[in-house]
Structure 1
Amino acid sequence: MNGNEHLHADTGATSEMFVERSLNEIRFWSRIMKEHSLFLRLGFRAEDTQLIQEANQFYRIFERIEQTAHSLSNQTDPEQIKKFNSEVKQSATGIFVFKRKVLGLILSCQLPGANNFPLLVDHISREANYFRKRLIELNEGKLKPLPEAIIKENVFFLRIMADHAKFIGHLLDPSERKLIDIAQNFSNDFDQLMYQAIDIESMKPQSQTVPLLDQFLDQNRVSVASLRDFKKTARDLIEQCKIKSIIHPLLADHVFREADRFLEIIDMFDAHLTSSNNQSS
């Protein structure tokens, strides 16, 4: 069962499910936050010693969180997990604040020559905010009704995928014309899908019908699977030193894992949509 699973609000969540979902979220996102710390540090200038120090500190914090999450199991006491979620939420809030501070410095031209795109810093801060909100939801036992969750999660992740395509296009060497072209096409595709999702979101609750949501998920799945495969190819080529870019091999793997997670979420939503539709018919 995937940690992002949303159930109907009226079914309630068992303690075991709460533990499983919490650990799934923390294991995935703590690694992502740890890697964000590394990417930020690599983009700072040599003289940005304070920022480098802060980034290293967050790297160590999330490395410890990741290790702790892997040392716990689905049989861990739910109260212990609830406390752990609260502690991790504090760290996620901390790195969110740090990322927004860095964004402010970049946009006010106080880090000339640094290599972190403003959109990338905004992107990773949105992910930190998503993570902290997931932990709050889990601890409060709040589960959004399935149709609303489907739309909200897709709006969030489609924008993340659109951003990834843009970053890949801008971090490839300008001479990699064909790959840049492919990345640009993915960027356009996901921009369109994101705006479609926003349109469906603004039509709520009337748009929350099973046929519409089913088509919505199917359409998104095709594009996400295609982007995931492109990212996997790019990652392998970067690791084999076959293409020219300034993309860190870990960043290539990082964006691949996020696309893979989005696919898992789509499949999980689709399965629930199908089962709930069968139950109601």
Structure 2
Amino acid sequence: MPQEELIFWLGILQEHLQTAKNRLAEGEKAWRQEAEQIQQRLQAVQDQLRGGYFVSKADILALARETCRWLQRLLYRMLRCQVQASLYPLLVDHWARETRFFCQLLRLSATGNPHARLGQLRESLFWLRIFAEHLQLLSQQLDPTEQLLQAEAALLLRRLERCRLTLSNWESLVGQDRDFPLTLGQALADSRETVLAVLKYKQKVARRARRCQLLAVFPADWPEHLLREGRYFLSLWP
């Protein structure tokens, strides 16, 4: 697993924790302190990698698993009204799924290219769901006056869901077979085109957020975070 990819994922995990920490209620000091400690350790590992120092995959995996456990505990408590936070439970689950996916990539990287071992079909299915949730979360936090952006998100969401259903059917048809029929190749290409359209939408939202041309309640840097995840997926399967 390339060093640049490890640095990317460590940054993504930090940003998830930062958002969670910022949206915890004032009285949830213990949760915020624990998130801060994990965040600092993620930053330290990221700095080591950027400085050219060796960090074992086992140490990174252990830290990613700790991050995932924190998110899962937070979700468990939120669903039982035992933690106060201005967070959608699905967003916390979304972060936990991404963290588990990173852990899976780390485990697979021990015996080769993790993306090749996982396969384009399975990886595309994972990211199509992630991108659909991005659109849902973005549109839900737009001001009601942003009707054009909300309508555009709804259209893209339907395209993503159709692609995901198509690939889910193909996963059932071919299983782990790597000798894909040409029709599946076309379905994967269609999914990529849809992701490109979603990426352009995210770019538009991010640009307007930077220029203060957008009415919304999400943090100004959040669209940039979503953009990086979209670019990451497209870089894996050019």
TM-score band w.r.t. shorter chain: over 0.9
Tell me the distance in 2 between the aligned counterparts of 1:51 and 1:227. 34
Tell me the distance in 1 between the aligned counterparts of 2:31 and 2:117. 41
CA contact (8 A) 2:170 2:184 kept: no
Residue 202 of structure 1 aligns with which residue? 172
Residue 92 of structure 1 aligns with which residue? 64
Offset at 1:266? 2.4
Offset at 1:132? 1.1
Residue 17 of structure 2 aligns with which residue? 37
CA contact (8 A) 1:32 1:254 kept: yes
Deviation string 1:83-141 (CA, Å, 9 cap, x unpaired) is: x21101001000100001111111112234x21111110111011101111111112x1
Structure label with greater radius of gyration = 1
After superposition, the Cα gap between the structure-2 partners of 1:92 and 1:189, relative to the gap in structure 1 and judged at 3 Å, is same
Are residue 57 (structure 1) and residue 37 (structure 2) matched?
Answer: yes
Instruction: Look up the SS of the partner of 2:145 in the other structure.
Output: coil
CA contact (8 A) 2:115 2:123 kept: no
Offset at 1:213? 3.5
Aligned equivalent of 1:137, options 108, 129, 136 = 108
After superposition, the Cα gap between the structure-2 partners of 1:147 and 1:52, relative to the gap in structure 1 and judged at 3 Å, is closer
Are residue 211 (structure 1) and residue 182 (structure 2) matched?
Answer: yes
Tell me the distance in 2 between the aligned counterparts of 1:144 and 1:33. 19
Are residue 256 (structure 1) and residue 227 (structure 2) matched?
Answer: yes
Offset at 1:259? 0.7
Deviation string 1:150-206 (CA, Å, 9 cap, x unpaired) is: 111101111111110011011112222221121222222212212222111111246
After TM superposition, the score normalised by the length of structure 2 is 0.92
Are residue 70 (structure 1) and residue 70 (structure 2) matched?
Answer: no
Aligned residues, how many?
Answer: 237
Instruction: Look up the SS of the partner of 1:234 in the other structure.
Output: helix
Higher relative contact order (CA 8 A, sep 6+): 1
Are residue 120 (structure 1) and residue 91 (structure 2) matched?
Answer: yes
Residue 6 of structure 1 aligns with which residue? none
Residue 135 of structure 2 aligns with which residue? 165
Are residue 105 (structure 1) and residue 77 (structure 2) matched?
Answer: yes
Instruction: Look up the SS of the partner of 2:218 in the other structure.
Output: coil
Are residue 229 (structure 1) and residue 200 (structure 2) matched?
Answer: yes
Residue 122 of structure 2 aligns with which residue? 152
After TM superposition, the score normalised by the length of structure 1 is 0.79
Residue 180 of structure 1 aligns with which residue? 150
Which stretch of the first structure deviates more once superposed, 63-72 or 228-237? 63-72
Offset at 1:216? 2.2
Offset at 1:212? 2.8
Tell me the distance in 2 between the aligned counterparts of 1:137 and 1:212. 28
After superposition, the Cα gap between the structure-2 partners of 1:144 and 1:30, relative to the gap in structure 1 and judged at 3 Å, is closer
Tell me the distance in 1 between the aligned counterparts of 2:178 and 2:2. 30
* CA RMSD, Structure 1 to Structure 2 (Å): 2.0
Aligned equivalent of 1:191, options 161, 184, 187 = 161
